[in-house]
C-alpha cells in the first residue's frame, strides 16, 4: 500500500470515527423536551431516587457512559426530559444526565439549602421550633398548602413546617395536599 493510500485510509477512518462519536453524543431523535412528554406526566416535575446507587449517564441508554453515580436514596431530582424509558434529570446542584425510569420514585422529598433552618410546629414564623435542620438534610414532603409559604415535612421522624425558600424540591406556587 502506498503512503498516500494509507493517509487516505486514516482520513476516512478518522471521519467515520468522528461521525459515530457525533451520532452517539447527539440528543436522541424524538426525545421529549420540557413541557411535553410521552407519559402524560408534566415536565418538568420533581421525583426522588429509588435506590442507594443510581447511575447518571450522558445519554438515554446503557450504551452511554456513566458520568456520575448517586449514592443517596430518596434524593430529590427534577425530571426535565423523557425518551422512551429514560429520564433526563437535574439534581439539587444543577448537574444533569439520564437515568432509567426504574431508578426513580414518585415519592416527593426535599433537601434543605444553605444555613440552619427551624423546623416549626405550625406554618408560622411565630410557631415554636421543633428542631433545627442543617443544610443538605433530606426530608419527606407531606404537604404544601396553597395558602402559606410553608410546607409540612418529616425529618428523621420529626414532623414540622419549613419555609419553601429553605429547601429544594417544590416549585414556587405548587401546592401539595
pLDDT at position 138 over 60: yes
pLDDT at position 167 over 50: yes
End-to-end CA distance of the chain: 74
Q: What's the whole-model pTM score?
A: 0.79
> Contact at 8 Å (CB) between 104 and 87?
yes
Shortest CA distance to 79 belongs to which of 91, 70, 65, 69?
Answer: 91
> Contact at 8 Å (CB) between 57 and 65?
yes
Spatial strand order of the sheet with 96-100 comes to 66-70, 54-57, 96-100, 86-90, 76-83, 45-49, 104-105
Digit-coded pLDDT (tens) for 17-75 = 333 333 334 444 445 555 555 788 999 999 999 999 999 999 999 999 999 999 999 99
**Would strands 138-143 and 150-155 be described as parallel, antiparallel, or unpaired?**
antiparallel
State the cell numbers at 84: 422512551
Digit-coded pLDDT (tens) for 69-121 = 999 999 999 999 999 999 999 999 999 999 999 999 999 999 999 999 999 99
3-state secondary structure the chain: CCHHHHHHHHHHHHHHHHHHHHHHHCCCCCCECCCCCCCCCCCCEEEEECCCCEEEECCCCCCCCEEEEECCCCCEEEEEEEECCEEEEECCCCCEEEEEHHHEECCCEEEECCCCEEEECCCCCCCCEEEEECCCCEEEEEEECCCCCEEEEEECCEEEEEEHHHEECCCCCCCEC
Q: What is the pLDDT of residue 39?
A: 83
Q: What is the largest CA-CA distance in the chain?
A: 85
Amino acid at each position: 500500500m502506498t503512503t498516500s493510500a494509507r493517509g487516505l485510509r486514516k482520513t476516512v477512518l478518522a471521519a467515520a470515527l468522528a461521525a459515530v462519536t457525533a451520532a452517539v453524543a447527539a440528543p436522541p431523535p424524538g426525545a421529549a423536551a420540557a413541557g411535553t412528554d410521552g407519559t402524560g406526566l408534566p415536565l418538568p416535575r420533581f421525583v426522588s431516587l429509588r435506590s442507594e446507587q443510581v447511575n447518571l449517564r450522558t445519554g438515554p441508554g446503557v450504551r452511554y457512559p456513566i458520568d456520575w453515580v448517586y449514592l443517596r436514596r430518596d434524593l430529590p431530582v427534577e425530571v426535565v426530559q423523557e425518551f422512551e424509558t429514560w429520564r433526563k434529570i437535574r439534581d439539587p446542584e444543577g448537574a444533569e444526565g439520564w437515568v432509567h425510569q426504574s431508578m426513580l420514585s414518585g415519592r416527593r422529598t426535599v433537601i434543605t439549602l444553605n444555613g440552619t433552618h427551624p423546623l416549626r410546629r405550625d406554618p408560622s414564623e411565630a410557631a415554636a421550633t421543633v428542631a433545627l435542620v442543617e443544610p443538605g438534610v433530606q426530608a419527606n414532603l407531606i404537604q404544601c398548602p396553597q395558602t402559606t409559604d410553608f410546607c409540612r415535612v418529616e425529618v428523621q421522624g420529626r414532623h414540622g413546617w419549613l419555609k419553601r425558600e429553605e429547601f429544594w424540591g417544590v416549585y414556587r406556587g405548587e401546592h401539595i395536599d
